Amino acid sequence: MLVLPLLETGQAESLGTELLEMLLKMAPSREEEIKLKEYREDAVSKLGPAESFLKAVLAIPFAFKRVEAMLYITNFDLEVDYLKTSYKTLEVVIFTTSPA
């Protein structure tokens, strides 16, 4: 699976929740991001696989903001269902304990 094209085009469903969460955990600190972006193209072969991948991800504008948005999109329906269930539970508790 090619992650970078899916990330660039915003195909959240194709990436899935687990992969998106893992990508967020991989997000470099600001200092690490600067160092990776400044790394010369002729020396990229000296980077390890993880660093090379992060450098490629950082080439995508707002890559980790995209990941956050895509994760929100993939979890949205589950969150709405959870809130509906919680609201129904709250209604039951309020109406069964309120004085008549």
**Tens of pLDDT, residues 13-52:** 899 999 999 999 999 999 999 988 888 777 777 888 888 8
Per-residue pLDDT at 94: 84
- In the chain, alpha helices (H): 3-9, 12-25, 30-38, 49-58, 63-97
Name the more confident of 70 and 46.
Answer: 70
Q: Which residues of 48-71 are buried (b: 16+ CB within 10 A; e: fewer)?
A: eeebeebbebbeeeebbebbeebb
**Cα 53 from chain centre:** 16
- Round to whole Å and give the CA distance between 4 and 60: 8
**pTM of the prediction?**
0.73
